[in-house]
Structure 1
C-alpha cells in the first residue's frame, strides 16, 4: 500500500507540473505581443568604440632635490605648496664641520705656497751658482726637482680647498627649477646623511599647468591605441566633469602581473586652472574607432531571446544564439553575426544582422536584413499577466 501511495503521489505531482506548464505557455501565447515586448526603433547615428583603463595623474617634471653633504638641517626656507624660483634657497645645513675643513685646506694652500716660494728662490740661486761653476749639475737638478714638487703640492692643496669650498656651498640647498614644492621630507633639526646615496629632501613639480596620466592598458587593447588619439577621463574629485587629453606615448616595456600583460600609455593633459592635483586617480577612455551615420542596434536587443526561441531545437534558425552580440562591457565577441528580433504585423520575427564596432549602448550594423525604423525587441514587459514563477513550488 505504501508503494502504491508513493506512485500515486508522484503521478499527481507530475500532472500538476504539466498542467502549470501548459497554463504558463497558454497565457504567454495568448498575450498581445504589442504589450508583452519592449521595443526600440532601429535608427541611424554615431557610434564610438572605446578602450578604458585607470591611471594616476603626475607632474610632467618632478624633481627630487637632495644633498651631497651630510649635516643637520639648520634653516628651512620653504614649505608645502610654496612656489619657488630657480636658484632660490630651500634649506640650509649646519656648516660647522664643512667650514672647518675648508679653513684647514686653505691653511694647507698657504703652507704649500710658502714652500713653493722657497723652492723657486733656491732654484734661482742654484742656477746662478751653476753658471759660475760653484755648484755641481746634480745639486742644481735637485733644486729643480724640489721646485717641481712644491708646485705639485700647491696644486693638490688648492684642489682640496676647492672641494671644501664646493661642499661649503652645498650646505645651502637651492631649487634647480621654477616650480611648486609638493613634498618636504625633512624637518628643522633633522640630521641627513649622504655617505652612500643622496637622500631626498624636497620634491618640486616644475609646472602643474601641464600634467600627464600614466595608465596600464591590457595587451588586447594596445593594438588599437595610437599616439595622438584623443582621450577623455574623469576623477573622483569632479565626478560630473569630463577632462580631455591626448595619447602622448606608448611605452614598449611590458609589465606582467598574474600572467596579465599590460603596457604603460602616457596621456598628456592641460591643467590651466590647476584643478587636477598630483596623485589623483583618473578613469581614462580612449576612442579607437568611430562611425557616423550608420544603422545602430541597441546592445540589449543583442542579448534578448524570447522563451519560445529557447524551447526550439538548437538547429532552428530562430534559436541561433546572437554570437556577435555585444556584452555588458560594450566589447564585441569573436563572431560578427547575430540575431535580433523585431515586431512586424503583430508578430515576433528573427532578423540576422552582421555587426561592426560597438560601445556600451549601441552596435553598428554593417549587413543583414535589418532596416531603419524597424521595431527591435529589447526585452519583455513585467505586468500582472505574467505567470508566477512559483506555481510548481505551491504544489507542496
Structure 2
C-alpha cells in the first residue's frame, strides 16, 4: 500500500508539471518569432555587364580615307599610342604627283588672271579715248561700240580667270588633304586592341573609312555597360557606388554609376535599360569584352534595428483579431508582438532600407524595438519543436560591419 501511495503521488506531480508547461506553451509557443537586432542593411540591384573602353563600346576605329598600298605599320597589338602619333603610312606617290599638278595649275591660272587684268586695263583706256573722240566728232560711233565690247569682254575674261584660280585652290586643298591622309595618326591616347590589315595590303576606301586599327582610349579607366531590368531601373541613380567581379580574377572591383541611358531593349518580352558604370583600372587588369557581375548599391542604413521581412507578411487569424478592438489596430506597416497574456499586440512602424531578407524599422510612437521578438507566423506541427535560429530556411541576420553591399564572391 505504501508503494501504491508513493506512485500515485508521483503521477499527480508529473501531471501538474505537464499542465503548467502546456499553459506556458499556450501563451507564446503558438507563434513563430524573429528577433529585432541592430545591424547594417544594404539594398542592392544585381546586374551583369560587359567591360568596354571609355566613350566607345568596342574601341575607336582608325581608318584609311584614301586608296593605296599600306607600306608601313608603326604599331601592333597592345602598342600604346598618343594623340597625333603616326601609326601607319599609305604609299603617297600618286597623291604627291596629284598635289604637284594641282599646284602647277594654280600658278597657271594666277598668270591668266594677271594677263586678263592687263587686257582689261588696256581696254578701259581705249574706251576712254574713243569716248572723247566721238564726243568731239572725230571718230565714228562704231569705234566707240567696239571699244565698249572689248572692255566688257576683258572684264568677263578676268572674272573667269579669277574663278579658275578659286577652283584650282580648292583642287590644291583636296590634293593636299589626300596626301595628308596617307599618313594615318591616332586620334586619342590609348592602346591598340585590334589590327585589321598587314603591311603590303591594299586598302580601298569608298564612302566609309576602311578600318586599319582599333584603339581603346586609356584603359586605366574603363566603363561597364550593364543591363538593368525595368523593374529595378527606378532605383538606380547617377553616382551610386558599385562593386563587381570578373570571372578572370578572384577579387572585387569598385566603381560608380556614370550614366543611365533611356534606349530600352526588349528581348523575350523583357525590357532592359543600359547603365554605364565607370571604374578605375590602374593596373589595366580588366580587358574590353570581359563579363562583369555587378552589385549596385541603391540604399544603406548602418547601425539600425532590423527584422526579417517575413514579419510584415504575418496576418493574425480571425479569432485573434476578434479579441482586440478594431481601433487598436493601426493602419499601414505594423509588427505583431506576443503580450504577457499570450495575445497579440500590433505596433505601427516606419520601414527603412530593405535588402532581400531584412528591413530596417523604427516604431512610430518612439518605443524601443531592439531586443524584442516579432511574430512571423503560427507554429505548425513541423516547426513546433524546431528552433528558428536553427531553421536552415530562416534568413540569418547580417553581422555588423559585414554587410558591405558587395558583388557575389568569386567562385572557388
Which category of TM-score, normalised to the shorter sequence, fits these structures? Answer: 0.5 to 0.7
| Residue 78 in structure 1 maps to residue 38 in structure 2 | no
Instruction: For residue 200 of structure 2, give the secondary structure of its aligned residue in structure 1.
Output: coil
| Residue 292 in structure 1 maps to residue 302 in structure 2 | yes
| CA root-mean-square deviation | 4.0
**Equivalents in 2 of 1:122, 1:176: separation in Å?**
51
Partner of 2:355 in structure 1?
359
* Alpha-carbon spacing, 1:279–1:350, altered in 2? closer, same or farther (3 Å): farther
Displacement after TM superposition at 1:229 (Å):
1.3
Displacement after TM superposition at 1:254 (Å):
1.9
Can you give the 5+ residue segments of structure 2 that lack an aligned partner in the other structure? 1-32, 131-142, 312-316, 321-331, 375-386, 393-412
- Conservation of the 8 A alpha-carbon contact between 2:219 and 2:281: yes
**Equivalents in 1 of 2:344, 2:67: separation in Å?**
80
| Residue 224 in structure 1 maps to residue 220 in structure 2 | no
- Conservation of the 8 A alpha-carbon contact between 1:298 and 1:378: no
| Residue 103 in structure 1 maps to residue 100 in structure 2 | yes
| Residue 277 in structure 1 maps to residue 274 in structure 2 | no
**Equivalents in 2 of 1:195, 1:170: separation in Å?**
14
User: Which of residues 155, 164, 167 is equivalent to 1:144?
Assistant: 155
**Equivalents in 2 of 1:169, 1:230: separation in Å?**
46
Bigger fraction of residues in strand: 1
- Conservation of the 8 A alpha-carbon contact between 2:362 and 2:369: no
Please, what TM-score do these two structures have when normalized by structure 1?
A: 0.67
Partner of 2:265 in structure 1?
255
> Counterparts in 2 of 1:1-396, with a 5 A limit?
43-62=37-56, 63-133=60-130, 136-239=147-250, 241-297=251-307, 357-360=353-356, 362-364=358-360, 372=371, 377-379=388-390
Displacement after TM superposition at 1:298 (Å):
6.0
**Equivalents in 1 of 2:172, 2:62: separation in Å?**
25
For the pair shown, the structure with the greater C-alpha radius of gyration is 2
Q: Which segment drifts farther, 364-373 or 171-180? A: 364-373
Displacement after TM superposition at 1:372 (Å):
2.2
Instruction: For residue 237 of structure 1, give the secondary structure of its aligned residue in structure 2.
Output: coil
- Conservation of the 8 A alpha-carbon contact between 1:336 and 1:356: no
Please, what TM-score do these two structures have when normalized by structure 2?
A: 0.65
Cα deviation code 1:164-199 (max 9, x no counterpart): 111111111111222222222222122222222122
Displacement after TM superposition at 1:163 (Å):
0.8
Q: How many residues align?
A: 318
Relative contact order (alpha carbons < 8 A, sep ≥ 6): 1 or 2 greater? 2
**Equivalents in 1 of 2:43, 2:188: separation in Å?**
42
* Alpha-carbon spacing, 1:143–1:357, altered in 2? closer, same or farther (3 Å): closer
Partner of 1:5 in structure 2?
none
Displacement after TM superposition at 1:294 (Å):
3.4
